[in-house]
Amino acid sequence: MGLTYQSTGQSSTREIFHTLADDCDYVIALAGNPNTGKSTVFNALTGLRQHTGNWPGKTVQRAEGSYIYKSHRYRLIDLPGTYSLLSNSADEEVARDFICFARPDATIVVVDATCLERNLNLALQVMEITGRVVICVNLIDEARRKKIRIDTDKLSKRLGVPVVATAARSGEGMPRLKELVSDVANKRVQTKPQPVRYSQDVEDAIARLEPRVKAIVGNSINSRWLTLRLLDGDTRLVQTMENYLNAGKTVPVMPVGQEGLA
Amino acid sequence: MQKSLIPLLEDAQEIAGLRRNQLQDNIVASIYSTAEQIAGEVVSHTSPKRQDLDRQIDNILTSPIWGFPIMFGVLAVVFWVTIVGANIPSNLLATGLFWIEERLTDLFMALNAPGWLHGFLVLGVYRSLAWVVSVMLPPMAIFFPLFTLLEDLGYLPRVAFNLDRFFKKAGAHGKQALTMSMGFGCNAAGIIACRIIESPRERLIATLTNNFVPCNGRFPTLIALVSIFIAGSVSLSLSSFIATLTVAGLVVFGITVTLAISWLLSITILRGELSSFALELPPYRRPLLGQVLVRSVLDRTIFVLSRAVVIAAPAGGLIWILANTTVDGASLLSTLAGWLDTPAKFMGLDGFILLAFILGLPANEIVLPILLMSYVCGGAMTELASLADLRHLLVEQHGWTWLTALCTMIFSLCHWPCGTTLLTIQREQRSRRWTLLAALIPTAVGVVVCVFINNLVRLLDLV
């Protein structure tokens, strides 16, 4: 009997991303569009406890840091800024693979309050992979200046995940963000992500295929999302998935630099 | 127990079937409309936003109906201003620079300098420089600021947006619209820009077809050729109108060829998957006029001109030598041109034109100066004081017709990329085969189109 995805489990897939859970209690991913102040959020959360390097086998910059909240250590992984997780750019692939395979305890999606609509596309796509999401509506100060009002309670209800408005530059909302992240990470709060409803023919195709996908991947990966990718014909994802499913850890791992303060 | 998703992938392909592209679009559309709906519910504005104005402008500039006519119109206005505006300074520069040539000749005479030295330096090097400056500088000095202005306004991403669906239909990546737009600046830069395309297949398509849009070196060539040829043949207002349409038409032709060849490549040697991307339309900005002027003059005009000058000076000397070294009673230049004459004539060109393209391999900027130089050196006429004389040289002495001009312009659009671009392709792709193909494809297209047009026009007795 070969190694299956379930038997190799979470810790081994995390190893591939060099995110050992040993030295921290929770792993948190930070996703967001470019120019949403994602780095500012990252800096505001981690301060100077940061390391930079490259993603394994990719020329994509990677930063990670950690912070302590209520005596738990949270390791924060800064994913590349992307507009979506659908296409094949190296950035998007890194972000998607991390959320999908390293299965962080929570994913913060930073969205720009001044153009929420465009930013929600990424949030919706992240929520298709994982429900453990906290939406950080950043640049809320700029939105106020532009007389844009955002009803975060309604947004939270509509998406089914916690939402917090922040202005990372001034630190506004950061304590609340940490609180929500800890709630989601240690499952004090159960999220109920509202899935995107597709057109009837897509939904029909999903209904036909999803049970069989589920039979293979179990609960380890969101089967609805994976079914969609199969329908998409995303052969690269399937290839990566194959490696995880059958060989566990033989995905090529390149050495990463973890030294130096950012 | 081995578990695999691959059989499921095959089933999924079967379920999706022929509608897969449509399915992908459906998925993306559903995500976008959900985002739009949610944003609509939770966001409220208490004051009208500037973004709304941007969006209204975008709706017009990128509308399926108005997008293309507006693009063509903008293009035409830019060319028209360039052609009309360049006419007078070109004449002034030509007059001034050739007056200096006469004084230089006087100087050499007074110093009793040997004839070959005068020929090489004045009639070769100096004269080709004078051609480069007077024929190329004015169009560049007008065209580049206008083009930079469009860039600064934020119009180019809208152009890319308009073209995106065509590239998709051609089986190429939407980002190719961007790399193609870069190609309008410089094909070598456009090739480097192809790095933004992740899929190797689509990047190759973009690389191989980048040369079909005229770069900074060829734009002035086209504009100068059009102005020389058409100026004076009909009344000024009509001629500038025809000239504008010609250049704009050539650009549209170049884009069409880009799409056609992309499509051909994607169904033959570069078959494969389509990938999608998000194109962010940046907000419109008020351009900083000072910056536009400085950037376009320093970065583009001076850069292109100095490159042309650096290459044209030795090329001018070389041509003078070729024209004045005689073997068996004929100059090397006319012998070489004679060899090329038969195939060139079949393409609607002549031996000198084809030779100029070959000698112009280092930089497209010098093709026209080389051509004029070889005509002048080869012919009896040595005094050219104005653009009208140039026209005379082409039409009366070398039998140019509108067909010759058209074929020359088409060949300028579709022939091997310049040396720099070829080196860049080699560096980016690390493959002699693809570099060779990048030279062969446009050349083949150019030859086929020129032969076709030339013979069709002759068959129909239109010249």
| CB contact (8 A) between residue B278 and residue A235 | no
Residue of chain A nearest B276, judged by CA positions: A87
Instruction: Give the 3-state secondary structure of chain B.
Output: CCCCCHHHHHHHHHHHHHHHHHHHHHHHHHHHHHHHHHHHHHEEECCCCHHHHHHHHHHHHCCCCCHHHHHHHHHHHHHHHHHHHHHHHHHHHHHHHHHHHHHHHHHHHHCCCCHHHHHHHHHHHHHHHHHHHHHHHHHHHHHHHHHHHHHHHCHHHHHHHHHHHHHHHCCCCCCHHHHHHHHHHCHHHHHHHHHHCCCHHHHHHHHHHHHHCCCCCHHHHHHHHHHHHHECCECHHHHHHHHHHHHHHHHHHHHHHHHHHHHHHHHCCCCCCCCCCCCCCCCCCCCCHHHHHHHHHHHHHHHHHHHHHHHHHHHHHHHHHHHHCEECCEEHHHHHHHHHHHHHHHCCCCHHHHHHHHHCCCCHHHHHHHHHHHHHHHCCCCCCCCHHHHHHHHHHHHCCCHHHHHHHHHHHHCCCCCHHHHHHHHHHHCCHHHHHHHHHHHHHHHHHHHHHHHHHHHHCCCC
Per-residue pLDDT, B231: 57
- Determine the distance in angstroms separating the CA of B214 from the nearest CA of chain A, rounded to an integer: 29
* Contacting A residues, span 73-132, partner chain B, CB-CB under 8 Å: 83-84, 86-90, 115-118, 120-121, 123-125
B392 pLDDT tier (thresholds 50, 70, 90): confident
Per-residue pLDDT, B315: 79
Tens digits of per-residue pLDDT, B187-203?
A: 887 888 787 787 888 88
Q: Which range (B161-175, B236-250, B293-307) has the least confidence? A: B293-307
Q: What is the pLDDT along chain A (262 residues), one digit of tens a residue?
A: 333 444 344 444 555 555 545 578 899 999 998 878 888 899 899 887 777 777 766 667 778 888 999 989 999 999 988 888 886 677 888 899 899 888 899 999 999 998 898 899 999 999 999 999 999 999 998 888 888 899 999 999 999 999 999 998 888 999 999 999 999 998 888 889 888 999 888 898 888 888 888 888 877 788 899 899 888 888 888 888 877 766 554 333 333 333 333 3
Task: Give mean pLDDT, residues B105-125.
Answer: 87
| Chain B residues touching residue A123 (CB < 8 angstroms) | 35
Q: Which of B403, B342, B409, B343 is nearest to B371 (CA)?
A: B409
Residue of chain B nearest A235, judged by CA positions: B9
Task: Give mean pLDDT, residues B307-336.
Answer: 81
- Best interface-test mutation with B: which of A85, A87, A118, A157 has the largest number of B CBs within 10 A? A87
B174 pLDDT tier (thresholds 50, 70, 90): confident
- Determine the distance in angstroms separating the CA of B204 from the nearest CA of chain A, rounded to an integer: 16
Burial B234-256 (b: 16+ CB within 10 A, else e): eeeeebbbbbbebbbbbbebbbe
| CB contact (8 A) between residue A84 and residue B278 | yes
Task: Give mean pLDDT, residues B344-356.
Answer: 93
Higher per-residue pLDDT: B116 or B132: B116
In this structure, the number of other CB atoms found within 10 A of the CB of residue B157 comes to 18
A230 shares contact with chain B (CB less than 8 Å): yes
B93 pLDDT tier (thresholds 50, 70, 90): confident
- Tell me if A257 sits within 8 A of A54, measured CB to CB: yes
Per-residue pLDDT, B206: 92
A151 shares contact with chain B (CB less than 8 Å): yes
Higher per-residue pLDDT: B444 or A234: B444
CA distance B102 to A86: 67
Residue of chain B nearest A151, judged by CA positions: B42
Per-residue pLDDT, B48: 60
Q: Quick one: what percent of chain B has pLDDT higher than 90?
A: 22
- Best interface-test mutation with B: which of A8, A83, A116, A117 has the largest number of B CBs within 10 A? A117
B454 pLDDT tier (thresholds 50, 70, 90): very high
Pairing of strands A72-78, A26-32: parallel
- Looking at the partner chain, which of B12, B35, B276 has a beta carbon nearest the beta carbon of A121? B35
| Chain A residues touching residue B15 (CB < 8 angstroms) | 205, 208-209, 231
B78 pLDDT tier (thresholds 50, 70, 90): confident
A vs B: CB pairs below 8 A? 149
Domains observed in chain A: 5-197 (3.40.50.300)
- Looking at the partner chain, which of B9, B43, B277 has a beta carbon nearest the beta carbon of A116? B43
B129 pLDDT tier (thresholds 50, 70, 90): confident
| CB contact (8 A) between residue B1 and residue A235 | no
- Looking at the partner chain, which of A120, A228, A233 has a beta carbon nearest the beta carbon of B39? A120
A197 shares contact with chain B (CB less than 8 Å): yes
Quote the pTM value.
0.62
Quick check: B381 pLDDT over 50?
Answer: no
Residue of chain B nearest A93, judged by CA positions: B198
Burial (CB count within 10 angstroms: exposed 0-12, middle 13-18, buried 19+), residue B126: buried
Quick check: B114 pLDDT over 70?
Answer: yes
Is the ipTM higher than 0.85? The answer is: no
Per-residue pLDDT, B164: 84
Pairing of strands A50-54, A61-69: antiparallel
CA distance A86 to B81: 44
> 């299956």: which residue's tokens?
A4
Q: Which two tokens stand for residue B197?
A: 């395309």
